[in-house]
Amino acid sequence: MAKNKTAFVCNECGQDFPRWQGQCSACKEWNTITEVRLGSVKAARNSQFSGYAGEGASEVQTLNEIDLNELPRIPSSFTEFDRVLGGGIVPGSAILIGGHPGAGKSTLLLQTLCQLAESMPALYVTGEESLQQVAMRANRLGLPTDKLRMLSETSVERICDIAVKEKPKLIVVDSIQVMHMADVTSSPGSVSQVRESASYLTRFAKQQGIAVIMVGHVTKDGSLAGPKVLEHCIDCSVMFEGDSDSRYRTLRSHKNRFGAINELGVFAMTERGLKEVANPSAIFLSRGEGEASGSLVMVVWEGTRPLLVELQVLVDNSSMSHPRRVAVGMDANRLAMLLAVMHRHGGLQMSDQDVFVNVVGGVKVTETSADLTLLMAMVSSFRSNVLPNDLVVFGEVGLSGEIRPVPNGQERLVEAAKHGFKRAIVPKANAPKRPPEGMEVIGVNKLSEALASL
């Protein structure tokens, strides 16, 4: 009998180790390394699909001999989804959709597949919900149900064997955490099962030219293997995020072999399923009537397009010896750094003040272009100084108080002008010679200039 191989794998980053250790030396997380029992080759041979693998024995080719006839991408029927994927689903690719339970992954994929099945064969494999539950949801959402093939199955080998007979162009596996392979001894949902199942499905996708979309749940406590361990083998990893109490969901790619990463797609969860939001700036900007201090609009760059987002800051006298600094939707370290810059180069002391920062609409801002916006909103709140409603600000702030340019300045300004903003404070290098129609653009070089221009 073939001896089962074991490996030690970090749940967080997927790094392999020859033996167990307390801390992962790659990602420095503690207690994340678990033993993974790798399947023996024998069982894989029993599967029909592996027979195909044997037939198509690989050959060495010169780079220019390789067939460049790219297969057309499969449009997912959601333009937002397509953009996140870099222009549609690539045939034969393996895609992972991660997200918290209840984010709406199953809904998104069911809607996509029902529409797609009208024009090409597609297979929806559900391991979590019963066929009846899925059918009821499809009916309730008024989706076309006459073409989509359904399968309730959790064995990866059987799914692949059925798919070889069914010949779909696209398979959805919902979810990868309940899938198991006969050969891997640990329970479904464990790192080894998830990793082996996903890599088996990925190989299957490549060899058969069938696109496979896998659903992966992320949990905070890490009891299920997070999609992190999978990112190595799949082609494309997208995250479906959003609080269940908020209507809006964002889809973002973290890895994409066929397109740009950090593309953002915005959806709204309604009682009739997911609807795409074509103009996300408009929803994140829906500001209440009346101006308030500490609120300011910035333009962030999301993948290939600008997005207008409102930033709110509240600065208040602190009653604690360690004043609180809370940042929602932004990096707290960046906030601490900007407070220091503000003290040294802006002459404002906030060490006895609580500072709360919130990015409206549950958006996460990782860009440095928010620095200047944050500082100016902070000053506005500190001085109870209301900023004009038609002002937009962006720019990176350096440690010596200099304002640095950010990429795509022109496009950001155009987007702001399109939404009716009349004034902009931006880094000098981003200020165009000819500002967009009807907009006054102030270019600043130093933090002091920016504060003076208020």
* Interface with ligand TYD (CB under 6 A): 99, 101-107, 137, 141, 244, 269, 271-273
Choice between 109 and 309, CB closer to ligand TYD:
109
Interatomic CA distance for residues 171 and 169, integer angstroms = 7
The nearest distance, CB 137 to ligand TYD, in angstroms, is: 5
DSSP 8-state assignment for residue 396? E
The nearest distance, CB 318 to ligand TYD, in angstroms, is: 38
Residue 72 is labelled as binding a ligand? no
Q: Quick one: which of 150, 212, 206, 208 has its CA closest to 176?
A: 212
**Does 175 sit behind a cis peptide bond, omega within 30 degrees of 0 on the bond before it?**
yes
Residue range at the interface with Mg ion (CB under 5 A); choices 77-85, 99-107, 310-318, 434-442: 99-107
Residue at token pair 């200047």 = 372
**SS in 3 state form for 271-338?**
CCEEEECCCHHHHHCCCCCCCCECEEEEEEEECCEEEEEEEEEEEEECCCCCCCEEEECCCHHHHHHH
Residue 122 is labelled as binding a ligand? no
Residue 104 is labelled as binding a ligand? yes
The nearest distance, CB 107 to ligand TYD, in angstroms, is: 3
The nearest distance, CB 106 to Mg ion, in angstroms, is: 3
Residue 216 is labelled as binding a ligand? no
Q: Which does 189 bind (CB under 5 to 8 A by kind): Mg ion, ligand TYD, none?
A: none
Interatomic CA distance for residues 263 and 252, integer angstroms = 6
Residue 134 in contact with residue 71, Cβ under 8 Å? no
Q: Which does 362 bind (CB under 5 to 8 A by kind): Mg ion, ligand TYD, none?
A: none
Q: Rule CB under 5 A: is residue 11 a binding residue for Mg ion?
A: no
Interatomic CA distance for residues 341 and 334, integer angstroms = 10
Q: Which does 273 bind (CB under 5 to 8 A by kind): Mg ion, ligand TYD, none?
A: ligand TYD
The nearest distance, CB 107 to Mg ion, in angstroms, is: 8
Q: CA dihedral in degrees (277, 279, 283, 284; nearest 10)?
A: 110
Q: Which does 242 bind (CB under 5 to 8 A by kind): ligand TYD, Mg ion, none?
A: none
Which residues neighbour 321 within 8 Å (Cβ) at sequence distance 6 or greater? none
Choice between 104 and 435, CB closer to Mg ion:
104
The nearest distance, CB 88 to ligand TYD, in angstroms, is: 22
Please give the size of the binding site for Mg ion, defined by CB under 5 A.
1
Residue 99 is labelled as binding a ligand? yes
Q: Is 79 helix (H, G, I), strand (E, B) or coil?
A: helix
Residue range at the interface with Mg ion (CB under 5 A); choices 73-81, 101-109, 275-283, 330-338: 101-109
Residue 189 is labelled as binding a ligand? no
- CA count, 13 A, side-chain hemisphere, 438: 10
Residue 102 is labelled as binding a ligand? yes
Interatomic CA distance for residues 175 and 156, integer angstroms = 11
The nearest distance, CB 283 to Mg ion, in angstroms, is: 25
Q: Which does 275 bind (CB under 5 to 8 A by kind): Mg ion, ligand TYD, none?
A: none
Choice between 220 and 433, CB closer to ligand TYD:
220
Among 50, 106, 358, 380, binds Mg ion (CB under 5 A): 106
The nearest distance, CB 111 to ligand TYD, in angstroms, is: 9
Residue at token pair 């500490």 = 294
Q: Which does 87 bind (CB under 5 to 8 A by kind): ligand TYD, Mg ion, none?
A: none
Q: Which does 379 bind (CB under 5 to 8 A by kind): ligand TYD, Mg ion, none?
A: none
b/e per residue 155-184 (b: at least 16 CB within 10 A): bbbebbbbbbeeebbbbbbbbbbbbbbebb
Residue 336 is labelled as binding a ligand? no
Which residues neighbour 363 within 8 Å (Cβ) at sequence distance 6 or greater? 250, 284, 300, 307, 309, 329
Which residues contribute to the site for Mg ion (CB under 5 A)? Answer: 106
Q: Which residues are annotated as a binding site?
A: 99-106
Q: Which residues are annotated as a binding site for ATP?
A: 99-106
